[in-house]
Amino acid sequence: MDNELEKKVAELQEMINGSDNIVFFGGAGVSTESGIPDFRSQDGLYNQKYDYPPETILSHSFFMRNPSEFYRFYKEKILLVGSDMNPEPNKAHKKLAELEEAGKLKAVITQNIDDLHHRAGSKTIYELHGTVTRSYCMDCDKEFDVDYIKNSEDVPKCDVCGGIVKPDVVLYEEGLDMYTMEQSINAIRNADMLIIGGTSLVVYPAAGLIDYYRGHKLVLINKGTTGREAGADLVINGPIGEVLGAIKV
């Protein structure tokens, strides 16, 4: 860690020490250090070549029109839980869980659909885009776990009614869950410190949540620049695992 980064981490430590209602809002960059690819970087999913663009495959209309091709992509590139790759929580996930256990952090709001925050030990998690760990029958609403999807051939079908099973993730063209949004807004509105990490803040409506923060400790941690740095109280351009991993609880 270079001197400039050390100085900023020290500022972050001081801000955390003086806060007891911290909310963390994170994106794909939180999990890339666990080996999960993001979407928009040079090596991200959106820059890889498939028969259809990933944005098209991960849309509601494509899922309804071609569930077989959707699941081929989903199982290969999205459903990484318990796979040979077996991603594990990194220093960022673990530190956030420690901060919550210490009573400092009140909520994790994530755009990610992996379960790494859960596996790290975080309890209050608002998953804006859903999670790969749950799926449900579109006809009878029966819930299925991730193993059922992984072990199914082609398109998973409900073992009760035979309906198509859909992952509990928010696809393009679908709206976010309103309860999750309301809980996230309330958490941010009441926070005395908001840490935003691993997101470029370009995906709406999720990125608009920052506008509900009323405090004066807005921290952005990201490898690249974001569009909201001008209004931040502290900007740290660095790996979020390294930055949060250096924080003492």
Beta bridge mates, 110: 26, 127
List phi, psi (to 5°) of 179: -65, -45
pTM of the model: 0.91
129 included as an active-site residue = yes
For domain 1-36+86-129+176-249, the question of CATH label 2.60.40.10 is answered with no
Question: Of these residues, 93, 118, 129, 216, which one is catalytic?
Answer: 129
Contact 12, 219 (CB under 8 A): yes
Q: What is the DSSP string of 76-142?
A: III--TTSSS-----HHHHHHHHHHHTT-EEEEEE---SSHHHHHT--SEEETTEEEEEEEETTT--
DSSP 8-class letter at 223 = S
Give, for all 249 residues of the chain, the pLDDT tens digit.
788 999 999 999 999 999 999 999 999 899 988 988 765 544 445 455 667 888 899 999 999 999 999 999 999 888 875 555 678 999 999 999 999 999 999 999 999 999 999 999 999 999 999 999 999 999 999 999 999 999 999 999 999 999 999 999 999 999 999 999 999 999 999 999 999 999 877 777 777 898 999 999 999 999 877 767 778 999 999 999 999 999 999
Q: What is the pLDDT of residues 118-157, one digit of tens each?
A: 999 999 999 999 999 999 999 999 999 999 999 999 999 9
